[in-house]
Chain A
């Protein structure tokens, strides 16, 4: 189990370094692919670009294969069945928002990242991205306060409503705002089930079984099974805002430990990420 050791050396344990490395790799991929997106590129092509980029850099297994959503699909407009998450032939147009979402496994470490951008100018999308900052702060604060995951979920949703947005992570399977990620055994052959790596699914299911006995769940949802304080470990947190056909999210790893010190009991794995840098730049500009 990761993240349950003592807090003080946390920053530098080789484990966390491994996770940080793969998360950096995934965000580098997102930025590289986003930089190559042009008008007319389809979601399938964008998903493929991510896959190729990461394969070339040694990624062999996945928590899930890369997703790409363009236009109103970033807000999951009209999504009824999970199959609609898979990339389509929707083409990117100027001003359209997009989201790249990928979860590579690298040297046995898993990352799950979400990158929101748009092709050209879109002030509304900028606003959504800027408003995500409050959610990152809210989640960390309440996890440190050891509120139950369900309560935190409701508070995030309430903040979204106040901001005038719809909660779109509710559209994910089980309506999750986050899920646990963990180390994955490196196998020569890891088949995929509906885009999800079987090794990672195995880990998630075994967590779910253990958690069920102990009263917690690796899925952070609005339901009763999330009515427990944050469980130590690594959580890929993905608040997702939607506003009338425009969606934006970030996804990154939150480390939860059993430390008594609030500062060390929970922290974001890495603050050097595109969305965090962007907020800092905006503050400097303002």
Chain B
């Protein structure tokens, strides 16, 4: 399905004719998509077709944009009051009896904030999903609060947003913006979007862009100064709001939404590592969040509270509903990581060669907040099995948003006593497991072209040489370098890659580590002894999991966890000689 198959009609209101397109089953709840500036309804084409599988999707060209006619005269024809008239006219036509779910991007969101905060639309809006467009009234109060008590932080926030709003000042100059848009800027705009905003090339923007942009300048001129100087004191939302904030937005600061809870009784926050044009760059994620929110608000109980509780916690807005795959998830760091993502509301695929352990992780993940979780029994060193897994995950659960290549085994003992077989085994799991994961799942991520993140568990042993761990350290150093190279390559696809380097963490890796060149009894003694030492150090895997989530949110390249790992990392750069002398010490086992 695409937008050209939409049912089109024209709605006449207030002296203009609005072009309205409809997709999907008209008996389903209605989702109205409102576009921004300088756009037309085609900005939603990717999102609309995805939503249409489940909902009755309605898009319209805002007056003066796309195939809707412009008011005459232009000045005074774009006030928020008139835009609200248009909106009411559209929804009265497409969904006369049932409240609609509104979704707005950029100026579409600015006007939808007006719709959802004025009295005359009450009862007509069931929910509102806002992205990259604040309410001008809230914005006005935001500025006033900061001017009234200008602490250094608040001044910083004002200046930060002030700098990001440069284009708003430009648009207030007479005539020049129109000349630019109808001239060189209009011609170059698609290239600019592609280069700076990473918007994929294609049938967007449409040919009407120069006119849309020229007309749309009046959106700013008719509203911005008036509203920011005299914001309405009663701009409270009368419907639940889902706020999706792209963290890389060049035009809007994330700080704009501080304190939004005081205006919106039911607010769900989401954040997305992306730039401004999310409807073009992240359609999958947007449509799944919109669908979830619409569904939650369609199934509200008698008390007005959605039946599915929304996960709370510091990472919930970032990972809610996303698909996370963790290898080595039956124990230790992998299991703790799966749980941490589950608590944030992510969907979990727990992979381990221990089928029971993986299933157990999935079961517990569902109990602590994962909307769905699955256990998969796969050996990461088995290429064919990993390829099959990737195909199955893509087919049944979707494309992975966060991949955590964590599975690893330990091998200790002198180099000269390590057999080729043992070398192969440790490299197969620790290095090839990561390579297979990155190849199959990373490729899917890159092909989708909507970003993602890969986390590889390396180790402090990746930069701390040691006579006791030659094979293990080699495998982990390779993982570290692989992560760095991959990070460079995948940056242009908006896929982040992080290497996590834990030091001594209390997990069961010690009780499965192989010690070379000793008999079974000694093997057993060494395992017990190291387990005891690691237990005494008692650094919990939960803290590593926390570092992993933080690394994804901040897109960090290399993250040493535990003080000893941070110390080793520092020394490896300042004074590698010191590390070399440490490497010669025999561990006290």
Partner-B contacts on A (CB < 8 A): 123-124, 127, 161-164, 243-244
8 nearest CB pairs, A to B: A124-B367, A164-B364, A123-B367, A127-B367, A164-B360, A124-B368, A164-B335, A244-B368
Knowing A124-B368, A161-B331, A164-B335 touch, does A244 contact B361 (C-beta < 8 A)?
no
Nearest CB in chain B: distance from A226 CB, A: 15
Ordered by A's residue number, 22 sampled pairs between the chains whose C-beta atoms are within 8 Å are A123-B367, A124-B367, A124-B368, A127-B364, A127-B367, A161-B331, A161-B508, A162-B331, A162-B357, A162-B360, A163-B360, A164-B335, A164-B339, A164-B360, A164-B361, A164-B364, A243-B364, A243-B368, A244-B339, A244-B343, A244-B368, A244-B542
Q: By the criterion of a CB under 8 Å from any partner CB, how many residues of chain B are at the interface? A: 12
Q: Chain A residue with minimal CB distance to B540? A: A166
The interface residues of chain B lying within 8 Å CB-to-CB of A123 are 367
A123 to B368, CA, bound (A): 9
Which residues in window 110-155 of B have CB below 8 A to A? Answer: none
Residues of B within 8 A of A164 (CB): 335, 339, 360-361, 364
Cα–Cα distance between A243 and B357 once the two chains are bound (Å): 16
Q: Which applies to chain A's interface (DSSP): helix, strand, loop or mixed?
A: helix
Q: Mark B333-354, 1 if CB is under 8 A from A, else 0.
A: 0010001000100000000000
Max chain B CB contacts within 10 Å: which of A123, A162, A163, A164? Answer: A164
List residues of chain A with CB within 8 A of the CB of B508: 161
Q: Which residues of A contact B542 (CB under 8 A)?
A: 244
Complexed CA–CA distance, A98 and B512 (Å) = 36
**Which B residue sits closest to A127, measured CB to CB?**
B367
Residues of B within 8 A of A (CB): 331, 335, 339, 343, 357, 360-361, 364, 367-368, 508, 542
Which residue of A has the minimal Cβ distance to B338?
A164
Residue in B closest to A126 when the chains form the complex, CB atoms:
B367
Chain B positions within 8 Å of A243 at CB level: 364, 368
- What residues on B are CB-neighbors of A244 within 8 Å? 339, 343, 368, 542
Report Cα–Cα, A244/B542, bound state, in Å.
9
Nearest opposing residue in chain B for A123, CB measure: B367
Question: CA separation between A243 and B508, bound complex, in Å?
Answer: 18
The tally of CB-CB contacts under 8 A between chains A and B is 22
Knowing that A124-B368, A243-B364, A243-B368 touch, tell me 12 more A-B residue pairs with CB under 8 angstroms: A123-B367, A127-B364, A161-B331, A161-B508, A162-B357, A162-B360, A164-B339, A164-B360, A164-B361, A164-B364, A244-B368, A244-B542
Chain B residues in 8 Å Cβ range of A162: 331, 357, 360
Give the distance in Å from the alpha carbon of A161 to the alpha carbon of B364 in the complex. 13
Contacts of B343 in A (CB 8 A): 244
CA distance A244 to B508 in the complex (A): 19
Q: How far is the CB of B80 from chain A (nearest CB, A)?
A: 41
Q: Which residues of A contact B364 (CB under 8 A)?
A: 127, 164, 243
A243 to B368, CA, bound (A): 10
Query: How far is B394's CA from A228's CA once the two chains are assembled, in angstroms?
Result: 54
Chain A residue, CB-CB nearest to B365: A164
Residues of B within 8 A of A127 (CB): 364, 367
Would you give the shortest CB distance from A145 to chain B, in whole angstroms? 20
A161 to B508, CA, bound (A): 9
Best-buried of B331, B339, B357, B367 by chain A (most CB within 10 Å): B367
Chain A residues positioned under 8 Å from B335 (CB to CB): 164
B residues less than 8 Å from A161 (CB atoms) = 331, 508
B497 to chain A, nearest CB (A): 28
Nearest CB in chain A to that of B542: its residue: A244
Minimum C-beta distance from A247 to chain B (A): 14
Bound together, the chains give a CA A243 to CA B340 distance in angstroms of: 12
Distance (whole angstroms) from the CB of A225 to the closest CB of chain B: 16
User: Whole-angstrom distance between the alpha carbons of A119 and B360 in the complex?
Assistant: 26
| Complex Cα spacing A120 to B344, Å | 23
Chain A residues with CB under 8 A of B360: 162-164
Least distance between B329 CB and chain A CB atoms (Å): 10
Q: In whole angstroms, how far apart are the Cα atoms of A19 and B361 in the complex?
A: 40
CB nearest to A122 among chain B residues: B367
Could you tell me the distance in whole angstroms from the C-beta of B453 to the nearest C-beta in chain A? 23
Q: Which residue of B lies closest to A157 (CB)?
A: B535
Please give, as numbers and ranges, the residues of chain B lying within 8 Å of A163 by CB-CB distance.
360
Closest to B357 in A: A162
How far apart sit A163 and B361, CA to CA, in the bound complex (Å)? 9
Instruction: Tell which of B343, B368, B508 has the most Cβ of chain A within 10 Å.
Output: B368
CB distance from B301 to the nearest CB of A (A): 15
CA A164 to CA B343, docked complex, whole Å: 15
CA distance A67 to B193 in the complex (A): 64
Alpha-carbon distance A244/B368, docked complex (angstroms): 9
Which residue of B has the minimal Cβ distance to A165? Answer: B364
Whole-angstrom distance between the alpha carbons of A162 and B331 in the complex? Answer: 7
User: How long is the Cα–Cα vector from A162 to B368 in the complex, in angstroms?
Assistant: 17
- CA–CA, A161 to B506, complex, Å? 11
Q: How far is the CB of B454 from chain A (nearest CB, A)?
A: 25
User: What are the residues of chain A within 8 A of B339 when measuring CB–CB?
Assistant: 164, 244
B355 to chain A, nearest CB (A): 13
B361 to chain A: which residues have CB within 8 Å? 164
Q: Within the assembled complex, what's the spacing in Å between the Cα atoms of A163 and B360?
A: 7
Q: Which residues of B contact A124 (CB under 8 A)?
A: 367-368
CA of A268 to CA of B53, assembled, Å: 59
- The winner among B335, B361, B364 for most chain A CB atoms within 10 A is B364
Smallest CB-CB separation from A124: which chain B residue?
B367
**Which A residue's beta carbon lies closest to that of B332?**
A161
CA gap between A124 and B368 in the complex, in Å:
7
